[in-house]
Structure 1
Amino acid sequence: MDGMNILVTGGTGLIGKALLGHFCHDHVTVLSRNPNRAYQRLGHHINVISDLDQLNDLNDIDVVINLAGEPIVNKRWSDRQKDIICKSRWEVTRKLVDKIKASSNPPHTFISGSAVGIYGDQKANCIDENCETDADDFAHMVCQKWEEAALEAQSDKTRVCLLRTGIVLAKHGGALARMLPAYQLGLGGPIGDGKQYFPWIHIHDMVKGILFLLKHPETQGVYNFTAPNPVTNKEFSQTLARVLRRPHIIKTPAWVLKAAMGESATLLLDSQRAIPTRLQQEGFHFCFPNLEHALRETLG
């Protein structure tokens, strides 16, 4: 993998930052609205652009990794926030695809983000990448259009891989960092009835999985980026409390969550028992297949 030209969007995010550390011998260009902040976070060995129009085409780029997107859980889903969530994913993706299509020698690989939210609420059903869904909720709609846009780049010159990501476990940033304060105070507990499945993946496996797709040119299409052992929200909550050696007594009823978060509460109440069938079929091995080990490593 020496000396590739890689273009990354979302490079200052949780996954992007962890991934970029692995591209020591490559020429990396990062798209960022705030180049100064990007250089501070990522170092000066990369090239930062603030607008894709700074690149006439992508003839000199080997790989595009598209991780851009406004965090979906940070704020209530007002109409304005929904618009930001959608545009931050769709517009960048469409622009990248247009540039790929306009290139006579386009990137050979386009890896683009998505999320398990595309499946909607699947209760206790085990779901892999073949799951067909008739969901009509916001998260499903965001991911579906995002994936459709990315797949437009597929050709005999460019393969497209889609990352249907679960909840990424990392110490700094992401969902876990927001949950920790309550658990550390002994105020952690299940959400709703706690039976909804919580598809998770350790940040190390997330990054390793993206590098795996890069190294295997035969891979393409949709991949669930979730650990092979999804757990219910109650199991997740109990395990986190145990790892932190804190009590596990406080339940958050669904109505309280809905009052606090509005429609975005579905992200915590919907159930996706997603399993990474295709990654495992391709021969990928998870370093952290089990939750307790993953949490101990993350929080240790």
Structure 2
Amino acid sequence: MKIAIAGGSGLIGTKLTNYFVSKGHSVFILTRDATNKPVKDHVHYIEWLKDGTKPELDLEGIEAFINLAGESIGDGRWTKKRKEAILNSRITSTRTVIDLLSKLKSKPEVLVNASAIGYYGNSLTETFTESSQPIETNFLSTVVQHWEKEAEKASNLGVRVVYCRLGIVLDASEGALPQIVLPYRLYVGGPLGKGSQWVSWVHIDDVVGMFDLAIEQTEIIGPLNVTNPVPIQMNDFGKTVATILNKPHWIPVPAFALKLLLGEMSTLVLDGNKVLPEKAKKYEYSYRFESLSVALNHILK
């Protein structure tokens, strides 16, 4: 299979590339600069989002397209300028993807577009599945709704569209986990805020597996919650980290301190939602890491 990935140099893109290549597929990574990229079998780098580039010339025959492109939401305080960049980067790149697809004589069967469980809003009491509607309008929910609306335009081209609504992705070196783990390694770990907020987590290997599911299972259309079926509250999450590292779980970090430090971005750790992967279960996805303790043991040890 020939698979294109926009935003393929990040955590998820790199893991997906390695996985698909191991399965014998060819991967075409769209990048702003294809010079000095490592030469690998079955991996091709194609320039896009630059004047004069015509990536569609190299993408005829693509069978699946994965769009991960967009500014990271966790790389700095959410100033007005930063929030505009987070939203605009997703809209611009997705519009470019749709334009690119429109120019292909042979369309891919599926567009798998990254998304986020921030779509649903935050709640301590609600449980969300793919059929749930947003319960509030906040920055992340607004971004995700606009992002998905742009991706949906691919369906007008006869392309099946799946939005992979990502939960908190657990990985050893990137994402939220290293930041959560660091205080415990320094013997100052403890509850973040009230500790009752839900963490809808997923191991990076299951992210890869569920993106693959979105490609292979042709009946999946629209939202796909990329989360573990057993979400956990933050206090219990921290206790599990402490147990695995044999460190104390004792010094709470009050919400006001995190808000002073992170500003509006503090919502990423102070708020949460309980999101269940109803479609993954329906299509009998087999989780590699369904237990948080097993997942963290694999990552942290």
Q: 2:4 aligns with which of 7, 22, 35?
A: 7
More moved, 46-55 vs 116-125: 46-55
Secondary structure, in 3 states, of the residue corresponding to 1:227?
coil
Determine helix, strand or coil for the equivalent of 1:47.
strand
Alpha-carbon offset, residue 232 of structure 1: 0.5
The residue correspondences of 1:58-207 to structure 2 (distance < 5 A) are 58-155=59-156, 157-207=158-208
Partners in 2 of 1:265 and 1:97 — Cα distance?
Answer: 33
Distance 1:11 1:73 in 2: 18
Tell me how far apart the structure 2 counterparts of residues 246 and 36 of structure 1 sit (CA, whole Å).
Answer: 45
Q: Does the aligned pair in 2 maintain the 1:124–1:197 contact within 8 Å?
A: no
**Whole-angstrom distance in 2 between the partners of 1:193 and 1:209:** 31
Per-residue deviation at 1:44?
Answer: 6.5
2:20 to 23, 36, 43: 23
What is the match of residue 268 of structure 1?
269
Native 8 Å contact 2:134 2:141 kept in 1: no
Question: 1:29 touches 1:46 (CA, 8 Å); kept in 2?
Answer: yes
Contact 2:102 2:157 in 1 (8 A): no
Question: Alignment partner of 2:154: what SS?
Answer: coil
Aligned-partner residue type, residue 161 of structure 2: V
Using the TM superposition, give the Cα deviation of residue 45 of structure 1 relative to its aligned residue in structure 2, in angstroms.
4.6
1:164 & 1:150 partners in 2: Cα distance? 13
Residue 33 of structure 1: how far off its partner (Å):
2.7
Once residues 295 and 148 of structure 2 are traced to their aligned partners in structure 1, the CA distance between those partners, rounded to angstroms, is 29
8 Å CA contact 1:120, 1:270 repeated in 2 = no
Tell me, which stretches of 5 or more residues in structure 1 are unaligned? none
1:53-90 deviation per Cα after TM superposition (whole angstroms, max 9, x unaligned): 42246542211101112110121001111122112211
**Paired residue type of 1:26:** H
CA distance in 2 between partners of 1:221 and 1:132 (Å):
13
Structure 2 Cα separation of the partners of residues 43 and 71 of structure 1: 26
Question: Aligned equivalents of 1:277 and 1:143: distance in 2?
Answer: 19
SS in 1 for 2:104: coil
Q: Which structure 1 residue ranges, 4+ long, deviate > 4 Å from structure 2?
A: 42-45
Q: How far apart, in 1, do the equivalents of 2:9 and 2:100 lie? A: 22
Q: Taking structure 1 as reference, are residues 146 and 127 closer, same or farther at Cα in structure 2, changes over 3 Å only?
A: same
CA contact (8 A) 1:124 1:271 kept: no
Aligned length: 295
Cα deviation 1:238-291 (Å, max 9, x = unaligned): 111111110011111111011001111112122210010111111112121111
CA-CA distance at 1:115 after TM superposition: 0.4
CA distance in 1, matches of 2:236, 2:113: 30
Task: Tell me how far 1:29 sits from its aligned partner.
Answer: 1.3
The residue identity in structure 2 corresponding to 1:15 is: I
8 A Cα contact 2:168 2:202, kept in partner = yes
Partner-residue secondary structure (3-state), 2:294: helix
Q: TM-score, normalised by structure 2?
A: 0.93
User: How far apart are the structure 2 equivalents of 1:87 and 1:108?
Assistant: 26
1:47 pairs with one of 44, 48, 52: 44
Give distance in 1, aligned partners of 2:171 and 2:92.
Answer: 28
Specify the code of the residue in structure 2 equivalent to 1:193: K
Amino acid at match of 1:48: Y
Alpha-carbon distance, 1:106 to partner:
1.0
Task: Report if the CA contact (8 A) 1:124-1:196 is conserved.
Answer: no
Cα offsets for 1:136-167 (capped at 9, x unmatched): 11111111100111111014731011100011
The farther-off stretch of 127-136 and 108-117 is 127-136
In structure 1, distance between residues paired with 2:269 and 2:96:
31
Q: CA deviation at 1:134?
A: 3.9
Mapped partners of 1:51, 1:222: distance in 2: 27
TM-score normalised by the chain length of structure 1: 0.93
* Cα RMSD (Å): 1.7
Alignment check: 8 A CA contact 2:25 2:42 kept: no
CA contact (8 A) 1:108 1:158 kept: yes
- The percentage of aligned residue pairs carrying the same residue is 34
Paired AA for residue 54 in structure 1: K
Structure 2 gap ranges (5+)? none
Q: Distance in 2 between matches of 1:160 and 1:267?
A: 27
| 1:138 aligned partner, one-letter code | F
